[in-house]
């Protein structure tokens, strides 16, 4: 196998004091670290790095089978060298070899809008074209981060990996807003994908982009992320409109003999959309009928009426919805599921009254 290769020599007043915490930290991130003959070897996600202590410097050589893993390893090492270097002594890092020129991050793609479909009054499907989409075609990781450029910018500016191996963000006034969305459809051979956007009041960059989209508009996409569909003998899915694209995609890919229940909260009957689901599945639409999104307890009320399984047979519960319902569903899952055979994934997809940035900051604080 041909390996890509990059190297750097970073001047440091005390390289040992950087190398040790760097290794300890990467061990926590599932790296394998070994030391022999004065060379520290770090194996991380298919890449291999050799680090040598020199007088007043750390010499690093990284090898990986592809650019994504090479850049990932360069980033992991460079960012931790910066983190563990003495305060006030920002190390100068310059990689040579493969991937040395500034480039888009390997998990980043530019997408162009090719079509728009109004699925329901508040759900708009946007079709995109992009290159090299293979890594995004996975039921193990359904969501992506979309980079939405500020309105009116003549040319979008994307984050780049610099010559130091670190991510360079565009200046604040040109920086894209980042929002999480789900890939609803993808055709890697055709280079196309589709994303379903909820059009909501108090629109932030995500909803506003969808509301005003024009053919040819460009956004960025990074990822994918998230956790995938688990095998189980019975499923319970709960979603509001934001979780509906992921739910619909999972339902389409379940085995034909899968059994379960899908509860979907929507504004009203006009928001229903046809879903392909296995025969052994029941689908219940729950209408808010005038209540504001995020204010109704329809999902948790419906969940409270269910018979939780006893005895044999595994259950997988998946939920994606507004934060208040997420908290209740997570509490119910923890109370009623049997840890030895059941599994669950309950995620807050948005929080009423706060933007995605504030919501993400709250989640980080809680974690
Ligand atoms: C893993 C993941 C996958 C997701 N997939 C999708 C998807 O495929 N499609 C999709 O539409 N959304 C999806 N979401 C939800 C989406 O990221 C949020 O709704 C996001 O806040 C929308 O960004 P915005 O810029 O429109 O609004 P923001 O700037 O984040 O918020 C502005 C205001 O709008 C409110 N708001 C945000 N979302 C809604 C909503 N749905 N209804 C009513 N008010 C809202 C906020 O509370 C805030 O007051 C997903 C979220 C996650 C975490």
User: Cα separation of 122 and 104, whole Å?
Assistant: 33
pTM: 0.91
Average pLDDT, the chain: 94
Banded pLDDT at 109 (limits 50, 70, 90): very high
CA of 76 to the centre of ligand 1 (A): 30
96 has a pLDDT exceeding 90: yes
CA of 184 to the centre of ligand 1 (A): 15
What is the pLDDT at residue 94? 96
CA of 35 to the centre of ligand 1 (A): 47
CA of 139 to the centre of ligand 1 (A): 21
Cβ 209 under 6 angstroms from ligand 1: no
**Strands (DSSP E) found in 176-314:** 177-182, 185-187, 192-198, 218-225, 234-239, 259-266, 280-287
- What whole-number percentage of the chain has pLDDT above 70? 100
Residue from 206, 323, 324 to probe ligand 1 pocket by mutation (most atoms less than 8 Å from CB): 206
What is the pLDDT at residue 365? 82
Q: pLDDT tens digit string along 215-233?
A: 999 999 999 998 878 899 9
Please give the domain boundaries of the chain with CATH numbers for all domains: 4-97 (3.30.310.50), 108-225 (2.40.30.10), 234-366 (3.40.50.80)
Spatial CA neighbour of 88 closest among 10, 13, 16: 13
Read off the tokens for 122.
């508040």
CA of 147 to the centre of ligand 1 (A): 14
Contact 196, 208 (CB under 8 A): no
Cβ 200 under 6 angstroms from ligand 1: yes
What is the pLDDT at residue 224? 94
Q: Could you say which DSSP state residue 78 is in? A: H
Cβ 355 under 6 angstroms from ligand 1: yes
User: For 311, left (φ over 0), alpha (ψ -120 to 50), or beta?
Assistant: left
Q: Could you say which DSSP state residue 171 is in? A: P
3-state secondary structure (DSSP) of residue 303:
helix
Cβ 319 under 6 angstroms from ligand 1: no
What is the pLDDT at residue 340? 87
Residue from 204, 219, 326 to probe ligand 1 pocket by mutation (most atoms less than 8 Å from CB): 204
Greater confidence (207 vs 230) lies with 207
Cβ 130 under 6 angstroms from ligand 1: no
Q: Could you say which DSSP state residue 136 is in? A: G
What is the pLDDT at residue 307? 82
The arithmetic mean of pLDDT across residues 147-159, rounded, is 93
Residue with CA at minimum distance from ligand 1 atom 52: 349
What is the pLDDT at residue 354? 96
Contact 295, 261 (CB under 8 A): no
Spatial CA neighbour of 54 closest among 94, 82, 13: 13
CA of 193 to the centre of ligand 1 (A): 19
Contact 208, 159 (CB under 8 A): no
Least confident segment among 116-120, 181-185, 207-211, 256-260: 256-260
Residue from 193, 197, 207, 325 to probe ligand 1 pocket by mutation (most atoms less than 8 Å from CB): 207
């Amino acid at each position: 196998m041909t390996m890509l290769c990059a190297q750097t020599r970073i001047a440091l007043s005390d390289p040992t004091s950087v190398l040790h915490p760097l290794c300890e930290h990467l061990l926590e991130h599932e790296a394998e670290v070994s030391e022999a003959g004065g060379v520290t070897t770090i194996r991380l996600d298919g890449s291999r790095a050799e680090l040598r202590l020199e007088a007043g410097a750390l010499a690093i050589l990284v090898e990986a089978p592809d650019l994504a893993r090479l850049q990932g390893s360069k980033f992991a090492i460079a960012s931790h060298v910066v983190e563990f270097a003495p305060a006030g002594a920002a190390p100068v890092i310059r990689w040579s070899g493969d991937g040395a020129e500034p480039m888009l991050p390997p998990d980043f793609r530019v997408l162009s809008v090719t079509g728009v479909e109004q699925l329901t009054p508040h759900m708009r499907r946007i079709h995109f074209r992009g290159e090299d989409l293979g890594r995004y075609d996975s039921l193990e990781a359904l969501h992506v981060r979309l980079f939405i450029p500020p309105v009116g910018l003549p040319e979008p500016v994307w984050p780049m990996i610099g010559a130091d191996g670190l991510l360079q963000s565009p200046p604040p006034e040109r920086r894209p807003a980042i929002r999480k969305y789900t890939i609803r459809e993808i055709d890697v051979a055709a280079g196309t994908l589709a994303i379903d956007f909820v059009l909501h009041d108090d629109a932030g960059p995500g909803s506003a982009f969808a509301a005003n989209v024009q053919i040819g508009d460009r956004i960025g996409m990074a990822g994918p992320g998230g956790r995938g569909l688990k095998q189980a003998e019975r499923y319970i899915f709960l979603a509001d409109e934001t979780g509906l694209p992921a739910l619909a995609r999972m339902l389409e890919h379940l085995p034909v003999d899968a059994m379960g229940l899908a509860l979907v909260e929507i504004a009203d009957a006009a928001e229903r959309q046809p879903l392909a689901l296995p025969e052994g599945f029941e689908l219940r639409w729950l209408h808010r009928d005038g209540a504001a999104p995020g204010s109704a307890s329809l999902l948790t009320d419906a969940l409270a009426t269910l018979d939780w399984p006893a005895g044999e047979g595994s259950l997988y519960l998946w939920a994606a919805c507004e934060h208040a319902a997420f908290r209740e569903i997570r509490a119910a899952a923890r109370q009623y599921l049997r840890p030895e055979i059941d599994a669950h994934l309950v995620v807050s997809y948005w929080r009423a009254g706060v933007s995605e940035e504030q919501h993400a900051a709250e989640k980080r604080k809680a974690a």
